[in-house]
Every structure is written in C-alpha cells, then in structure tokens.
C-alpha cells in the first residue's frame, strides 16, 4: 500500500471564503445530482394535484336516487310522528338563587306558638302583618306604646328585681315583632333607645325599687314620644310653612303624616295653593291623603307614578316624607320616592324632605338591596292576569317596600331644629346621640 496516498476524511473542511466550492464538499451535504433529481420528482408526484381530474369531478352532477314506496308500505309522514323535546325549565321555588334572597318577606304571625307573650304585642304583630298600621311615625308610636304597656304590666318572679328581669322579658316580645315584619331603621333606633334606658337603670347606684324603676322607664318612653315625635312634628310644620307661598303647586308622594299636617296647617293659615298627589300600588296610601285634604277644602289632583313627568307640569315644590335619613345624607322612604325626587330634580324643582331628628342614623347605605323589606307577592299581582304566576316558569314577583334617594336629589331637610342640608346628617346624629344618650338626665 502506497504511503503517499492518504484515505479521505469523513469530514471535509469547508472551503475558505472567496474560494470555489469543490465537488466533494457539495456531494457530502447536498448529495449527488442524481439523488437531488429523484427527491424533487418524488415531491412533485405527492404534492401536485391532478387539476384535470378535479375539474372532471366538479362537472359530473350528483345522481339523486329516489326510492318509491311499494304499495304495501305507508308513506313516511303517516307512520312517523315528530316529537319535540321540551326543555326542563324549573318552576319558581323558594330555593331559587337570587341576590335578594337575604330580604325577608312579611308573614302572617303564628299566635298559637307565642301564647306566653303580652296580648298587646300579639295584636300589634297582627296589625303590622296586614299593613293596617303603615307609616314611619305610626309604627314607631305603636311600638313605643306597646312596649310601655308591657313594662307596666310586668311582674318579676320572686327573688328577682324588676330592672334585671325586664331585659330578659322584653327580648322575646321584640323578636316576635321582628319575625312578623322587618323593622325599619327608625324603629331600630327607638328599640336601641329603650334598651339604653333599661341599661342606665341597671347602672344606677343605689338601686331603685321595682315600682320606681317601672315609673322611670315608662316616663322615659313618654318623654321620647312627646319630645322627639309630637313636639318635633309641630316644629317641623312651623318651619315648613315658610316654604309654601300663595299660588304654589305642591307635589307629594304616597302619604306622610308630617307632610299631611304641614299642608293642613298651610290651609288653616289662609294660603292659596294646590296639591298633586302621586301614588303607586300596592298600598295606595295616597288615597287616604287625598280624602283628608279634599275634606279640608284643598284643591287636589291624583295620579299614579307612571305619569310623574306629566304630573310635574306647573309644580313649584315637592314635599316628601322619610323613614330614615342615613349618614351620607340619603333618604330611605316608601318605594317610588327616589323616582319622584329624580324626576323633580331633572325638571329643576326643589325637593324638600320632612323628617324628625330621631330618624337620623349612623348607618350608611348606597342602594336599596343591602337592607330592605319584601312585601307579599299576592299584594302586587292582585286578581289580574298574574293571579297564577306561581305556575309560570321563570317568573318571580318582587314587591320591595322601600327605596333609597341619593343626597344629590334632595334640596334640603326640614327638621325640628330648622332647615338643614342633607349633608349635615352625621352632625345631627352625633349631637342628638350624645344628648339623648344620657337617659337619666330626664327620667
């Protein structure tokens, strides 16, 4: 073997830059020319479609085979029935998920299971459930007078003081009233007031006798009724008279006891004005207000809330009642009040709310869904076409009792301490909470 002839290396180095590529280098990486032609021809064979064959397939029409039934066979439409599968739609049940399921519905009280309660409380629960007592002031007065009656008639058991035992005695009565119908925020405030009065009596040293404690507690409730409701309403009427002038056309919604007193007092003062009463279902409280004002000789016009913009024509002022004034200046009142206030503000008409200071609360709420009361659906549907609404799938009847009017739609609030902007609500609550929180000062 010749030593001068070397075996070619398996890895041929690449040519230098600018030098021509040798044939051995190209065959190593690209293959020979014959192998390249074979790969190219096989690629064309597998990927190139036969256009002539494709066109021929498109030109050939599809033959439709029609099968004629024999004389023994019946037509298909006579033997086959079309069956439509109905979707499984759940009906309205109490377990249907909703963002308003946390709101309780007013229900008929069960007096059989609460025979140990005071008869006055059982009677009040029945009146609440049937809406025979409506309105914030009327309900608050009824609760205070009923609790005062329970306190006067209570006899503590042996070896127990009245002050200690009355706390446990009042709890089931309050819970019963709350189970019948949800308390409004104003009633919650007076319940807190009564509990604070009882706790202040317990803290007195030396301790009072049973009779003295009973008298002081009932006097505290009577003082609250006189100072915070009766006299407060009289002062509100006096401040409100300055807002009604001759030739005014006043609009009000539903029925507010303090607005009714204001309009009657304005008529007695000889002022010439007319009233537009806007009402809504299901309570139709405006009808009672219409009857009272008409009998007093006041020119009235009655309409429903659906025609609010038509009713606002030529109206100069709007007076509304309120169940509670929240800490952010909003008003929580009968549902529909917010729509009236917004429509009046849209027409550049001042909206004035009449409310006692005991209705001011430290609670803040920005909608009508977090806390509200649901009325019975039967009250809303009545005897119309929706009388069988429970048998209709995907139908729920919602009967809310209250709504929230934002502060920007309220021009001013008339209280017993004067006419104030609604933004002063937290100041009013703080001052009166400090003053009337000291229960023993006027017992």
CB atoms within 10 A of CB 400: 16
Q: What is the pLDDT of residue 75?
A: 52
Q: What is the pLDDT of residue 42?
A: 54
Over residues 120-177, the pLDDT tens digits come to 999 999 898 888 888 889 999 999 999 999 999 999 888 888 988 998 999 999 998 8
Instruction: Determine the Cα–Cα distance for residues 45 and 35; give it in Å rounded to an integer.
Output: 16
Q: What is the pLDDT of residue 63?
A: 54
Q: What is the pLDDT of residue 159?
A: 84
Q: What is the pLDDT of residue 432?
A: 79
Sites in the chain below the pLDDT cut of 70: 1-99, 104-109, 111-112, 383, 434-443
Instruction: Determine the Cα–Cα distance for residues 426 and 422; give it in Å rounded to an integer.
Output: 9
Name the DSSP class of 228: I
Of all helices (H) and strands (E), which one includes residue 333? strand 331-334
pTM for the model stands at 0.73
- Residue 442 has φ and ψ, to the nearest 5°, of -130, 20
Q: What is the pLDDT of residue 130?
A: 83
Q: What is the pLDDT of residue 8?
A: 47
- Residue 409 has φ and ψ, to the nearest 5°, of -100, 10
């Amino acid at each position: 073997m010749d030593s001068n002839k070397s075996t070619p290396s398996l890895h041929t180095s690449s040519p230098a830059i600018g030098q021509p590529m040798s044939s051995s280098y190209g065959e190593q990486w690209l293959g020979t020319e014959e192998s390249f032609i074979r790969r190219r021809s096989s690629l064309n064979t597998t990927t190139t479609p036969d256009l002539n064959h494709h066109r021929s397939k498109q030109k050939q029409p599809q033959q439709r085979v029609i099968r004629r039934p024999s004389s023994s066979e019946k037509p298909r439409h006579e033997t086959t029935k079309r069956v439509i599968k109905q979707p499984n739609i759940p009906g309205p049940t109490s377990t249907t998920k909703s963002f308003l399921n946390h709101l309780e519905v007013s229900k008929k009280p069960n007096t059989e299971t609460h025979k140990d309660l005071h008869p006055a409380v059982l009677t009040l629960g029945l009146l609440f459930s049937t809406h025979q007592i409506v309105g914030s002031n009327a309900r608050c007065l009824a609760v205070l007078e009923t609790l005062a009656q329970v306190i006067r008639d209570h006899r503590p058991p042996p070896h127990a003081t009245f002050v200690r035992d009355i706390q446990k005695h009042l709890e089931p009565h309050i819970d019963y009233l709350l189970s019948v119908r949800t308390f409004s925020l104003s009633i919650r405030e007076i319940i807190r007031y009564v509990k604070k009065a009882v706790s202040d009596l317990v803290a007195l040293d030396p301790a009072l006798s049973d009779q003295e404690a009973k008298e002081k507690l009932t006097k505290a409730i009577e003082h609250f009724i006189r100072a915070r409701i009766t006299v407060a309403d009289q002062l509100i009427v006096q401040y409100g008279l300055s807002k009604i002038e001759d030739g005014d056309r006043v609009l009000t919604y539903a029925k507010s006891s303090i607005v009714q007193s204001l309009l009657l007092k304005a008529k007695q003062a000889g002022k010439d004005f007319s009233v537009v009463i806007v009402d809504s279902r299901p309570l139709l409280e405006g009808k009672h207000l219409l009857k009272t004002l008409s009998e007093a000789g006041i020119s009235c016009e009655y309409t429903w809330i659906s025609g609010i913009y038509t009713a606002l024509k030529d109206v100069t002022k709007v007076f509304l009642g309120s169940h509670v004034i929240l800490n952010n200046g909003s008003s929580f009142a009968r549902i529909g009040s917010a729509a009236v206030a917004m429509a009046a503000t849209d027409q550049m008409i001042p909206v004035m709310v009449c409310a006692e200071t005991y209705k001011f609360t430290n609670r803040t709420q920005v909608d009508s869904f977090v806390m509200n009361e649901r009325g019975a659906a039967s009250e809303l549907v009545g005897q119309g076409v929706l009388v069988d609404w429970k048998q209709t799938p995907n139908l729920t009847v919602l009967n809310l009792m209250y709504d929230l009017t934002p502060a920007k739609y309220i021009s001013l609030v008339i209280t017993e301490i004067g006419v104030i902007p609604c933004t002063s609500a937290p100041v009013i609550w703080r001052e009166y909470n400090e003053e009337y929180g000291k229960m023993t000062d006027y017992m």
